[in-house]
Structure 1
C-alpha cells in the first residue's frame, strides 16, 4: 500500500487463496493495546555478539548494549500481537529474532500507537520502528501525505515484505460495497495514521454532494474492528494480511468478510532514522542473510502470507 490517492488493484484472487493458509495460526486471538508501555518480551537470540556472523556491522553503541529497541504497535495480528500468555508474537517478532541471531543482539519490542512511532525514532526513544509500516516516498521525505507539507526529516526503510490494503464488512452484510467508490454515503473505521486512513480521505474528496464518506479513526486496528462488528461503521480497512487474519479468526470466522480487491500493494519497511546509516545497512545485511539461509521463508510460510515474501532486502524501495 502507498500513500498515493490513485488506487491500483492487485492480483487479489491469488492473494486471497494464498492467505487461506493463515488458518495455521487460527487459534491465536487478536489482542494487544495501543498505549506507550514497554513490552517485557524481547526476541530471544541465543547468539552472542562474539559468535554472530554480522555483529561487526552494527554501531558500537548497540553492540555494547546488546539490544535493538523496537517501536511497534503490538495490536496488528498476524504481523505483531500478544498471544494468550501476553507474549509478543507474529511475523515481525519472528523476523527480528532471526535477524538478531545474525547480529548478535536482541530486538526488544516496545508498544506504542502507530502514529507516534516515527516521532519516537526522532526522539531516540527507539532505534528502529518495525510495525507493518509501509515504505512510502512521503515517509522517506518527512512529508504529510494529506497536506503535502514537510513535517520532519523523514526516515530510511529496509523493506522486508509486500502487502496491499483491503476493505472488510460484517459477514453477510456487505452494504453493496465492492470498491472504494462504494463507500460514499457510508462510514468507515480505520486505524489512525495508516494508509487506509489516507485512502479513505482521498476517496472522501471524490464523493458527490449528499453522499459524504464519514471516516472514524482509532488508535489501533482492533478498536476499528470492534466498531464494524458492533454496526457503528459499515466498513473497515486495514492491510490485507491483517484483514485476512481477522476474517479467519474473529468470532470463529463469523464476524467479517473481505469485499472487493486489495489495492496499493507496496513494501513494508523497517524504519530507521536518517542519521543511522550504519544500523540501516546492518539490518539490510541481516535480512539478506536470513533470506539466503531459508529462515525468512520459514517464518513467512508459518504465518500463511507467502505471497508477500521478498527475495532481497531493498532500501527505500517505496514509491
Structure 2
C-alpha cells in the first residue's frame, strides 16, 4: 500500500528520508521472514479482557459493548499487512500494532480486506470503525478533498499518526535502465498501486516530461499485481512506500528479482483514519498508541519488522501536511 495519497514535504524531509532508507535497508536484510508471519489472524488481534485493559474506559460505549474495532485494510502490502503462511492469518506491522493497542483498550481489532482506494468510503459509510492500511495522513484527506480535482468529496477524517515513511523506485535486478530519480522515469513504463502517493507523484512528474517522453503508467488494485507485471518484463520500474519496496527487494525471488534505485523521497506520516465525528475513538487510539510507545511494545514491533527508522516517539493527530 504505497505511501498512500499525495504528500507535500520539504527537501530537508527528503534528505532525512534518504538517510533512513539506508538504515532501514540494512535492518531489513537482517530481519528473517520465518516466524514473523505466525502472529495475528484475519479475524483481528488477540487481546486481553477489558477487565485488565488500562484504557478501556476511554472507548465509546458502543465499541466497548461489541468488544471489537472493525478495521478496513488492503491486506496485500507486505510488510505492513499481508496474508501469512497459515491460511486466514493477517500479519505485519499494522496487525502487530493493533494487537498492542487492543491490549490497552480491551478490544479485538478485526481486519477486513478491501481495495485501498475504497477504504475511506467504507469508513464514511460506517462499514469500518477505522482504516489502518499504510494510509498517508494528508490535509486533503483530513478535509475530504479529491487530490486530482481539488473538489470536496466528503467530510474528511481524522488521523492518529503512528509511523513515517517515504516513497521509493525499484527495478528488475541488474536492469535499472539508468533510473535514479523521478525525472528519469520520463519515457519509461511504471507500475504503481492505484490511489497511492506513487501514482500521484508519477502524475505530477509526467507534467514535467517533454512531449513524446511521457511516463506510461500502469496502475493496479494492489502492489503485488504491480510487482508481478514488472517481474514479467511488462514495465521498466515500480514505485511504492519504502518499507514495501525494500521488503519486495529482499524477498521476491529470494532477493534476485528487484533492486532499489535512487533515494527515498516524500517522507510523511502513516495515520489510522477515524471518522470526523468519532473523536472519542480517535482520542482513545492516541492514548493507547502513546501507552505502547511508553511501555516499549511499539519499539519491539518496529525492530521486529526492520523499520525502526520510521518509528515515532509520540502519537500525533492530523500531523500530515
Q: TM-score range by the shorter chain?
A: over 0.9
Partner residue in 1 for 2:159 = 157
Which residue matches 2:32? 25
Alignment RMSD: 1.7
Residue-by-residue CA offset, 1:275-298 (whole Å, 9 max, x unaligned): 110000000000000000000000
Do residues 10 (structure 1) and 12 (structure 2) align? Answer: no
CA contact (8 A) 2:8 2:266 kept: no
> What SS does the corresponding residue of 1:50 show, helix, strand or coil?
helix
Q: How does 1:127-206 map to 2 (within 5 A)?
A: 127-206=129-208
TM-score, normalized by length of structure 1?
A: 0.94
For 2:21 and 2:176, the matched residues in 1 are separated by: 20
- Measure the CA separation in 1 of the matches of 2:244 and 2:10: 19
SS state of the match for residue 205, structure 2?
A: helix
Q: Deviations over 1:168-193 (max 9, x none)?
A: 00000001100000000011100001
Q: Give the number of equivalent residue pairs.
A: 310
Secondary structure of residue in 2 paired with 1:41: coil
How do 1:1-319 residues align onto structure 2 when only pairs under 5 Å count?
3-4=6-7, 8=11, 9-11=14-16, 12-23=18-29, 24-27=31-34, 40-45=42-47, 47-86=48-87, 87-319=89-321
Q: C-alpha offsets along residues 82-115 of structure 1, whole Å, 9 cap, x if unaligned?
A: 1111211100000000000000000000000100
| SS of the residue 2:109 aligns to | strand
CA distance in 2, matches of 1:312, 1:101: 18
* 1:25-51 Cα shifts (integer Å, max 9, x gaps): 334899xxxxxxxx7431011x21122
Post-superposition Cα deviations, 1:172-220, rounded to whole Å, max 9, x if no partner, equal: 0001100000000011100001111110111111110110111110000
Mean Cα deviation higher: 13-22 or 113-122: 13-22
- For structure 2, the 5+ residue unaligned runs are none
1:254 Cα deviation after fit? 0.4
Aligned partners of 1:28 and 1:83 also within 8 Å: no
Deviation digits for residues 223-275 of structure 1, max 9, x if unmatched?
Answer: 00111111111010000000000000000000000110010001000000001
TM-score, normalisation: structure 2:
0.93
More off after superposition, 3-12 vs 100-109: 3-12
Q: Equivalent residue of 2:51, what SS?
A: coil
Q: Do the aligned residues in 1 keep the contact of 2:7 with 2:268 (CA within 8 Å)?
A: no
For residues 29 and 191 of structure 1, what CA distance do their matches in structure 2 show?
25
The secondary structure found in structure 2 opposite 1:262 is strand
By how many angstroms is 1:18 displaced? 2.7
Deviation at 1:13, TM superposition (A): 4.2
Gaps of 5+ in 1: 31-38
Aligned-residue offset at 1:10: 2.6
